[in-house]
Amino acid sequence: MPRGAAAYSFYVGRDAGVTHRVRIRARLPDGTWGGFSTERSVTTGP
């Protein structure tokens, strides 16, 4: 398991009240993909 923390950002638009659901997965050093993270939701504010 990797050490430390990672940060991710992405553009979600300008409309208020829009909910986005996100899951990420890591590309491992051997070139394969890891499992998906827990799904997270974010809703844009005013």
Instruction: For residue range 4-42, list pLDDT tens digits in order.
Output: 777 778 888 899 999 999 998 988 889 999 999 999 998
Question: The domain containing residue 25 runs over which residues?
Answer: 17-46
Higher-pLDDT residue of 1, 6? 6
Q: How many domains are contained in the chain?
A: 1
Which DSSP string corresponds to 6-17?
Answer: --------S-TT
Distance CA 6, CA 33 (A): 16
Output the pLDDT for position 29. 86
Residue 21 within any structural domain of the chain: yes
42 within domain boundaries: yes
Q: Is residue 7 part of a domain?
A: no
The span from the CA of 37 to the CA of 3, in Å, is: 16
pTM of the full predicted structure? 0.57
Report the C-alpha gap between 9 and 3 in whole angstroms.
Answer: 20
Residue 3: inside a domain: no
23 occurs within a structural domain: yes
